[in-house]
Amino acid sequence: MHPQTKEFLDKIQNFEIKRRFDESEYDIIKRYHKTKLCMCYDYLKLLTNMKTGNDNLKEDYLLVKKLTQKFEQDFLRWKNEENT
C-alpha cells in the first residue's frame, strides 16, 4: 500500500469537524457526511490519475472505493432516518 493512502485512511477514519456557532445539528451532520464523501471522491480521482499503466495502485484504489461505498451507505441511512 502506498504511504499516501495509509495517511489518507488514517485521516479519514479519525475525521472530525468543528461545529459553527450558527449551525444546527442537521447541518453539521450533513456537512460531516458530505465532507468525508468529497475527500474520498477526490482521493479516488487522484489514484485514477496516478495509476495509468501502473497496477501497483489497484489495491489502494479498491480499498478506498470500498470505504467510499461504506460512507455513501452511512449517508443514505442517515438521510432516510431524517426523512422519517
User: pTM to 2 decimals?
Assistant: 0.86
- For the chain, the domains span 24-83
Residue 54: what pLDDT?
A: 61
Residue 52: what pLDDT?
A: 64
Residue 14: what pLDDT?
A: 92
Q: Give the separation between CA 56 and CA 81, rounded to whole angstroms.
A: 40
One pLDDT digit (tens) per residue for the chain, 84 residues:
888 999 999 999 899 999 889 999 999 999 999 999 999 999 999 988 887 666 678 889 999 999 999 999 999 999 888 776
Which of helix, strand or coil describes residue 71?
Answer: helix
